[in-house]
Structure 1
Amino acid sequence: MDADGHLYVFAYGSLIWRPGFSHLGHEPATLRGFHRRFCLWSQHYRGTPEVPGLVLGLDRGGSCRGVAFRVSETEAPEVLDYLEARENLNGDKVYDRRLLALRLASGRSVQGIAYVADRAHPAYCRPCEQSTAATIARGRGEAGLNRDYLLNTASQLASLGLRDRKLERLVRLVLASPA
């Protein structure tokens, strides 16, 4: 919980456009020390064991612009349980939940949770941009097309006025790739 009595949840991927939990509001936020990257193999949500997809994680270095959701203290335990089950499917800890400093668009600094990719997990990867685009173009899992995950994230960021040039370049590569 932040000093103001709320839980802040930093969203940098699908949580932006599909949070799935009750919140009091949200606003753009910046997280320093981590960047958004397709760095986790997905064998469920956006791929299969035979044809894995890729999902976003926060990886070391740089900064990331995303969204901070503000959650009431009374809803916080339920939201944390939901996020843990969603982000670490079936208890497979691909993400570490961390309490990190966030800078809100309003200028305030708050403490919020973010899910950071676990570099020691076997799902962690760092494919080159062309391999990332090819994997996303062909990925399909329980939650749908890997391409849609990328496009929805990029579209939502753009609608909030948040530029991510690497993600925008990846969109162009995926759209040019055969499905």
Structure 2
Amino acid sequence: MGDFWVFGYGSLIWRPGFEHVEARRARLYGYRRSLCIYSFVHRGTRERPGLVLGLDRGGSCVGLAFRVRGERHDEVIDYLRARELVTNVYLERMVVVRLETGETVPAVTYVADRAHEQYAGALDEDRAAAAVQGASGQSGRNEDYLSSTLEHLESLGIRDRWLEGVARRLAPS
């Protein structure tokens, strides 16, 4: 099997957790980055859910495409499934992303399952900030997840005005 690509749009950007031979800026059309997933495990609990990112329908999303050696396919897919499918709120999909070079490649990614109980839908900035503020789970504070995502997006020259608006609405901790 040849090399394959994985598209990351949130925490995979700053903590991929798998071996890859290159990472390139890429755009996925037809989906947007959104805090649309209630987190019951990593950044919240069932009693006090936080919010994490998902790919939701509409628009486009700039993230990173990671090229992985073909011989690592099963290992990396198993890792991604264990990480992303903890509560099955994401659907594993093969999508086409456009690399910064203009080349298009198929990539594995995880999109929000709109039928899942954890799907939060399209929240406004105030409601998203209220959900993020004070939530914490196995992977830490929800505010840290949001700030780390924004820091890494900024370091790549990627603007996400909606996420920036949510962060501005958080009370100082």
State the TM-score, normalized to the length of structure 1: 0.93
Q: Choose from 97, 102, 106 the match for 1:107.
A: 102
Pairwise CA RMSD: 1.2
C-alpha contact (below 8 Å) 1:59/1:117 kept by paired residues: yes
Whichever residue aligns with residue 142 of structure 1, its letter is Q
Whichever residue aligns with residue 65 of structure 1, its letter is V
Structure 2: state its 5+ residue gaps. Answer: none
Whichever residue aligns with residue 103 of structure 1, its letter is R
Counterpart for residue 71 of structure 1: 68
Counterpart for residue 112 of structure 2: 117
Whichever residue aligns with residue 38 of structure 1, its letter is L
1:16 corresponds to 2:9: no
Counterpart for residue 130 of structure 1: 126
Q: Choose from 51, 59, 75 the match for 2:48.
A: 51
After TM superposition, which residue ranges in structure 1, 4 or more long, deviate above 4 angstroms?
none
Deviates more, 1:95-104 or 1:123-132: 123-132
C-alpha contact (below 8 Å) 2:125/2:162 kept by paired residues: no
Deviation of 1:128 after TM superposition, in Å, equals 2.4
Structure 1: state its 5+ residue gaps. Answer: none
Counterpart for residue 145 of structure 1: 141
Counterparts of 1:75 and 1:30, CA distance in 2: 24
Counterparts of 2:169 and 2:100, CA distance in 1: 30
Counterpart for residue 155 of structure 1: 151
1:95 corresponds to 2:86: no
Q: Choose from 161, 166, 172 the match for 1:170.
A: 166
User: Size of the alignment, in residue pairs?
Assistant: 172
Whichever residue aligns with residue 125 of structure 1, its letter is A
State the TM-score, normalized to the length of structure 2: 0.96
Percent identity over paired residues: 51
SS at match of 2:70: coil
Deviation of 1:163 after TM superposition, in Å, equals 1.2
SS at match of 2:23: strand
